[in-house]
Structure 1
Amino acid sequence: MIPTLSGRWQTRILLYVVLGLPITALYASYLGLDEIGRYGDPFVFLTALLLVGLGLDYAYIQIQRFRWDNDWPFAFQFFFSIVEFLIVLGLMNIGLLDPFLVDRIPADIATTQFLLIFIPSFFAVLGGIQIFLIRWRFKGGELGRH
């Protein structure tokens, strides 16, 4: 598949809504308010991941043009997902997310949350979306295009 920018954005937002939000809600309720300061902080972290990813998708499309087949292998997706996480973790550590957070999320809790969301999302893109949305792969990752 050669993903388009809008296809990347649509897929990312779909995964945010279908997997990210429910997993974050379960994880936040599991942690409780004492551990994370406020129930909404993990959602701020998740939304920051989404926004950084949406911003970097444009760069990914530009990098992808240099590949001979213009494709984006899953190994790249795996690597750059970790890069996105490290960027958000860095933004949180230098205080740029402080206006939105009651308390900074500890790195171990943020890492666990990232893994709980990243692993199912990665496997959903590898298989689940391709099974349930058969034409998704042939439409550049776009969900509504005919």
Structure 2
Amino acid sequence: MIPTLAGRIQTRLFLLATVGAVLTALSALVLPMSFVDAYLVLLAVAVVGVGWELLYHLLMQFRWDKDWPTLFGLVAIVPEGLLMWVLLDRGLIPGVGGPVPAGAFAAMFAIVWIGQWLFANGPMRVLFVQWRLRGGRLI
């Protein structure tokens, strides 16, 4: 499957709203971070993630197969996580109540990211067969 831009955006938002929401709740239970702050960060990841998808789509145009290897999807945690931390640290995520500990943010971001990546590369391919055949589009 070579995902379309619309498919990548839909998949990202779907995974954040389902797998990401569950993993965020579980993370907020054990990390020194309020549920409100955790879900505001998740919402910010969704909004900024659409911009990332546009950038990734542009970069993919320079690849001969117009797709990323699966490992690139996992390694993308680094630039996306760093950008989100900078936005959070500078107070650019509206509504976040106070300083979020760097370790709590890193743990939550990693748990959600890896959980989504594993779900997209495993169960999602089985549960949503048409998703694979329609370029990652869910709608």
Determine if the TM-score, normalized by the shorter chain, exceeds 0.5.
yes
* Aligned partners of 2:6 and 2:137 also within 8 Å: yes
Structure with more of its chain in helix, by fraction: 1
Structure 2, unpaired ranges of 5+: none
The number of equivalent residue pairs is: 139
Counterpart among 132, 136, 141 of residue 136 in structure 2: 141
Q: Which has the larger radius of gyration?
A: 1
1:46 maps to which residue? 42
- Kindly report the root-mean-square deviation, in angstroms, between the aligned alpha carbons of the 2 structures: 1.4
Please, what TM-score do these two structures have when normalized by structure 1?
0.88
| Structure 1 runs of 4+ with >3 Å offset | none
Counterpart among 110, 117, 121 of residue 122 in structure 1: 117
Shift of 1:5: 1.4
- Residue 107 of structure 2 is aligned to residue 112 of structure 1: yes
Highest relative contact order (Cα 8 Å, sep 6+), 1 or 2?
2
Structure 1, unpaired ranges of 5+: none
Counterpart among 59, 62, 68 of residue 66 in structure 1: 62
Shift of 1:45: 1.2
Identity %: 35
- Residue 45 of structure 2 is aligned to residue 55 of structure 1: no
Secondary structure at 2:7 match in 1: helix
